[in-house]
Structure 1
Amino acid sequence: MPYCEVDRYQAGDKWEGVRLFYRRYGRGATKVLLVIGLAGTHDSWGPQIRGLTGSMEPADGGDEPTAARTDEEAGAPAAAPATATVEEEDVGEGIEVCCFDNRGVGRSSIPPHKSYYSTSIMARDALALMDHLGWKKAHVFGHSMGAMISCKLAAMAPHRLSSLALLNVTGGGMECFPKVDAQMLSLAFRFLRARTPEQRALVDLETHYTKEYLDEEVGSCTRRAILYKVNAIYLHGVFIILPASFTVCIRLIFLDYIC
């Protein structure tokens, strides 16, 4: 399976054994890097991958069966892959997409210490992945925490980005915290009472969008109906893949959101 050994591309850093699992789809001179949000995995990008490449068939081969990992095994140094870098090729007008699991989730390494988690560290992970792929530049698209990571990546290496697209992200600062009022307290109460991904998806929509926007008709249904389907699928994935070290990631909300 395709892995990027992050520290091979970070000169001067001590080897931590951090490996990122990634997938590539399509072929072409146009490169697109998708950066997912908190607790999401590369699988969350299915509709976007199909829309950009027209296929969900990975360009780097299929899955191989693997045994279940412990946190210690996931963070341990691994043997070097036979080919550490995929050379960039100019293969015409097509689009090549890469999506990956951030450290701490999915099939990527799960470092055990909280000092190994921040949006800046994860931005360096994304840059290391681009180096691994041999991508000089890419269109970077980030969602939620992935958009925060993408912002750090853009500030860190602006010459490596062809464009930057951000979805569901905050600019940081104390302004990002919601006003405490009756509506916010009601949403918080309903979210805590929700017991299924479907129930939480309904509340989550009202947290992110106005009632007027959700009730707007698009074709034969409302935006609420469309977004609900996407949100319910995403939250199903979140419920399944939350790692044991998930509480460490909550640190990102309180530190990186206000920086």
Structure 2
Amino acid sequence: MTHATAHDGIRLHLEEAGSGTPIVFVHEFGGDHRSWEPQMRFFARRHRCVTFGARGYPPSDVPEDVEAYSQANAVRDILSVMDHLGLAKAHVVGLSMGGFAALHFGLMAPERALSLTVAGAGYGAEKQYEEYFRNVSLEVARQFETHGAAEFAKTYSLGASRVQFQNKDPRGWREFADQLGQHSTLGSANTMKGVQARRPSLYDLEDGFRAMAVPTLVVVGDEDDHCLQPGIFLKKTIPACGLAVLPKAGHTLNIEEPDAFNRLLAEFIAMVEAGAWTPRDPRAKPAEIMKTS
């Protein structure tokens, strides 16, 4: 256990295990560095695995100023962790908020990414819900500030795309909900206001994604409704992108379906490292139904 120092002096708690090609895991809003334990244990058998707490998530520092929280800083923090560990490149794996950070990492620092895995990313991306998402993010921040993390976690952990986890694995969901309740009230509120409510829609980044050559895997649950269409958009836009949809699954994919998630990720990384995860064959024309000539 150690920490990296971000460009603005924020200390970021990190943990690592294993050796080999590095994988950096980036957690979601409702999780923290502990959320990747099923992946840290599995992939450390043959990779150097790194998990870290985002700013605002103890034992990382919790800046008081909301302006210290942004999508750009989320990417810079990944880079700070990699620089601290001397990692020139890594496979970057993110869930939800971490998935957005992984995508922006591919746009801002593609030369540092061996691959990107983007799971459960899409909230606020759909243009018809963009304003609603910004407003509900501010309301979530207000609820954290009003009730505190320990109390509001009881509500937040029962979201429409999280009850699937509770139904399948009550013990695992309970651990997730308990850890959410241990988060910093200030850090959670500031993350909602500074990152979630301000990040651009994925659809506004289309030109950048079309030019992004990093091998990418997008994973969504079929009951994570507001990630399904953005997942298809990413598949159609990023040149070397694959899309996996997990059945009867919600948002917290890596802990809700750890075996399926690990298998998908292991196969993806193996394909990337073999040079076999390539852009879509230009002969596979989306408009063509059957070939007639």
Band the TM-score falls in, shorter-chain normalisation:
0.5 to 0.7
- Distance in 1 (CA, whole Å) between partners of 2:200 and 2:169 is 25
Bigger RCO (CA 8 Å, 6+ sep): 1
Structure 1 unaligned segments of length 5 or more: list them.
8-15, 55-93, 180-194, 215-222
The partner residue of 2:9 within 17, 24, 30 is 17
- 1:227 Cα deviation after fit: 5.0
- 1:253 Cα deviation after fit: 2.4
TM-score by length of 1: 0.62
Do structure 1's residue 5 and structure 2's residue 10 form an aligned pair? no
Do structure 1's residue 47 and structure 2's residue 38 form an aligned pair? yes
Do structure 1's residue 236 and structure 2's residue 227 form an aligned pair? no
> Is the 2:100–2:121 contact (alpha carbons within 8 Å) kept by the matching residues of 1?
yes
> Is the 2:166–2:173 contact (alpha carbons within 8 Å) kept by the matching residues of 1?
no
> Is the 1:170–1:176 contact (alpha carbons within 8 Å) kept by the matching residues of 2?
no
- 1:2 Cα deviation after fit: 0.9
- 1:38-72 per-residue CA deviation (whole Å, 9 max, x = no partner) reads 15221111111112125xxxxxxxxxxxxxxxxxx
Tell me the SS of whatever aligns to 1:27: coil
Q: Please name the residue that 2:196 is paired with.
A: 253
- 1:121 Cα deviation after fit: 0.8
Tell me the SS of whatever aligns to 2:51: strand
- Distance in 2 (CA, whole Å) between partners of 1:100 and 1:32 is 12
**Structure 1 169/208 Cα, relative in aligned 2: closer, same or farther at 3 Å?**
farther
Q: Which amino acid aligns with 2:3?
A: Y
- 1:243 Cα deviation after fit: 3.4
- Distance in 2 (CA, whole Å) between partners of 1:167 and 1:178 is 23
The partner residue of 1:151 within 95, 103, 117 is 103
**Structure 1 224/234 Cα, relative in aligned 2: closer, same or farther at 3 Å?**
closer
**Structure 1 257/208 Cα, relative in aligned 2: closer, same or farther at 3 Å?**
farther
- 1:165 Cα deviation after fit: 0.7
Q: Identify, as 1 or 2, the structure richer in helix.
A: 2
- 1:37 Cα deviation after fit: 1.2
> Is the 1:176–1:257 contact (alpha carbons within 8 Å) kept by the matching residues of 2?
no
Q: Trace 1:72-83 onto structure 2 (pairs within 5 A).
A: none
Q: Please name the residue that 1:207 is paired with.
A: 161
Q: CA RMSD in A?
A: 3.1
- 1:227-246 per-residue CA deviation (whole Å, 9 max, x = no partner) reads 55433322210111233343
Counting matched residue pairs gives 186
- 1:86-111 per-residue CA deviation (whole Å, 9 max, x = no partner) reads xxxxxxxx311000000111111222
Tell me the SS of whatever aligns to 2:121: coil
- Distance in 1 (CA, whole Å) between partners of 2:101 and 2:30 is 14
Q: Which amino acid aligns with 2:179?
A: G
Q: Which amino acid aligns with 2:13?
A: F
Residue identity over aligned pairs, in percent, reads 24
> Is the 1:36–1:145 contact (alpha carbons within 8 Å) kept by the matching residues of 2?
yes
- Distance in 2 (CA, whole Å) between partners of 1:118 and 1:19 is 16
Q: Please name the residue that 2:120 is paired with.
A: 168
**Structure 1 174/245 Cα, relative in aligned 2: closer, same or farther at 3 Å?**
same
- 1:135 Cα deviation after fit: 0.9
The partner residue of 2:66 within 110, 114, 120 is 114
Q: Which amino acid aligns with 1:113?
A: D
- Distance in 2 (CA, whole Å) between partners of 1:22 and 1:226 is 30
- Distance in 2 (CA, whole Å) between partners of 1:196 and 1:108 is 21
- 1:17 Cα deviation after fit: 2.3
- Distance in 2 (CA, whole Å) between partners of 1:247 and 1:95 is 34
